[in-house]
């Protein structure tokens, strides 16, 4: 940790989420009566920046939003949550990103996104933030932005000896040049397969697929498994299963973002990888207990209480 607080820089996305709950997911052409409408800020990069700040980090976001009202939602959020936005660019070229989220009675979700201005976040934007990245403890990125932009974030982190974490969602095949810059990759089991060009439900053993990615240059893999916790495949070949925490699930939408930002904070604080994953698994579990993403991101007190609960 380079300062009194861990410094996390997120190169990522912002979108406003519109959430609705239904008793089940509709079939083609069907209209269902829903409930529990919620509108709030989202986008994986934004969620992770806010989550890191709540966990006590000095958090910064490199992103692009529109000059529309939804962009104002993001700016106001970051002021409220204490997220640094010196490298948040606003543009009139595209709309701010928006996502439509449907929840079923069990809290599982389906999501459709128009990423809008996020498509304009470029490697040049990342280059302008190089001094910030160089002074960070951990750099996080996602794939709701162009892969070449995420790749630049990972490359600058590597250049300056900063730990890089890539949350590869939404998943897509990636080239070896990007994968070789990643210190920690955090796919779920379907994303893991998509990264290798397989079908999301391909029956190939998870460990075998993970080792394929490591052979292409990824140092450490953390395969998240929802209620079953996470599988940690370390650079030295060690494999460890970190169990999940049992909670009453209300909404799983922000669980992956809570996991990733908590992982970044724990690594920035110097925790060993497996311990950092335990910390992150608790954050992901906590996020499932509340409706909406931002309200569900834990602060440090929430997370410490869950970690210490028996």
pLDDT per residue as tens digits for the range 159-174: 999 999 999 998 998 9
| Number of residues assigned to the chain | 310
Q: Is the pLDDT of residue 146 over 90?
A: yes
The arithmetic mean of pLDDT across residues 148-162, rounded, is: 97
CA pair distance 127, 57, nearest whole angstrom: 22
Quickly name the fold that domain 7-25+34-308 has. Answer: 3.40.1190
- The pair of structure tokens assigned to 7 is 């410094």
Q: Give how far the C-alpha of residue 203 lies from the chain's centroid of Cα atoms, to the nearest Å.
A: 26
pTM above 0.85, yes or no: yes
Q: How many angstroms separate the Cα of 129 from the Cα of each of 71, 96, 152?
A: 20, 21, 11
Contact by Cβ (8 Å): 50, 83: yes
Catalytic site includes residue 205: no
CA pair distance 179, 198, nearest whole angstrom: 17
Kindly name the residue from 205, 257, 275, 299 that is annotated as catalytic. 257
CA pair distance 248, 30, nearest whole angstrom: 29
Query: What confidence score (pLDDT) does residue 40 get?
Result: 86
Q: Is the pLDDT of residue 1 over 80?
A: no
- The pair of structure tokens assigned to 276 is 């950092």
Domain ranges (residues) in the chain: 7-25+34-308
Nearest to 233 by CA among 293, 163, 185: 185
Contact by Cβ (8 Å): 287, 296: yes
CA pair distance 201, 190, nearest whole angstrom: 6
Averaged pLDDT score across all residues of the chain: 93
CA pair distance 201, 238, nearest whole angstrom: 25
Query: What confidence score (pLDDT) does residue 310 get?
Result: 59
Query: How many CB atoms within 10 Å of residue 162?
Result: 22
CA pair distance 261, 299, nearest whole angstrom: 11
pLDDT per residue as tens digits for the range 244-271: 888 888 888 789 999 999 999 999 999 9
For residue 39, count CB atoms less than 10 angstroms from its CB and return exposed for 0-12, middle for 13-18, buried for 19 or more.
middle
- The pair of structure tokens assigned to 212 is 């394929």
Phi, psi of 245 (to 5 degrees): -100, 135
Rg (CA), the chain: 18
DSSP 55-92: TT-EEEEEEEEESSHHHHHHHHHHHHHT-B-TTEEEES
Q: Across-strand partners of 17? A: 40, 99
Nearest to 305 by CA among 289, 292, 291, 188: 289
CA pair distance 222, 282, nearest whole angstrom: 15
Phi, psi of 131 (to 5 degrees): -60, -40
Q: Across-strand partners of 8? A: 59, 138
């Amino acid at each position: 940790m380079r300062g009194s607080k861990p410094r996390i820089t997120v190169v990522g996305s912002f979108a406003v989420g519109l959430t609705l709950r239904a008793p089940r997911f509709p079939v083609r052409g069907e209209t269902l009566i829903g409930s529990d409408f919620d509108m709030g800020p989202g986008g994986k990069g934004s969620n992770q920046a806010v989550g890191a700040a709540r966990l006590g980090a000095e958090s910064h976001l490199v992103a692009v939003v529109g000059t529309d009202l939804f962009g104002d939602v993001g700016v106001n959020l970051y002021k409220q949550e204490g997220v640094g936005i010196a490298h948040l660019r606003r543009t009139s070229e595209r709309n701010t990103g928006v996502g439509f989220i449907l929840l079923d009675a069990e809290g599982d979700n389906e999501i459709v996104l128009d990423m809008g201005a996020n498509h304009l976040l470029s490697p040049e934007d990342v280059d302008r933030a190089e001094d910030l990245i160089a002074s960070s403890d951990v750099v996080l990125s996602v794939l709701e932005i162009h892969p070449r932009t995420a790749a630049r974030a990972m490359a600058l982190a590597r250049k300056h000896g900063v730990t890089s974490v890539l949350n590869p969602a939404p998943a897509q095949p990636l080239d070896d040049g990007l994968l070789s810059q990643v210190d920690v990759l955090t796919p779920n089991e379907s994303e893991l397969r998509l990264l290798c060009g397989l079908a999301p439900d391909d029956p190939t053993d998870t460990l075998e697929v993970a080792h394929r990615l490591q052979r292409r240059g990824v140092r450490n893999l953390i395969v998240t498994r929802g209620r079953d916790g996470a599988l940690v495949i370390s650079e030295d070949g060690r494999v460890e299963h970190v169990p999940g925490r049992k909670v009453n699930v209300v909404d799983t939408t922000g669980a992956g973002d809570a996991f990733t930002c908590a992982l970044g904070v724990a690594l920035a604080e110097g925790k060993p990888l497996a311990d950092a994953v335990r910390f992150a698994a608790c954050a992901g579990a906590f996020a499932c207990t509340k409706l909406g993403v931002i309200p569900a991101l834990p602060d440090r007190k929430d997370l410490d209480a869950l970690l210490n609960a028996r």
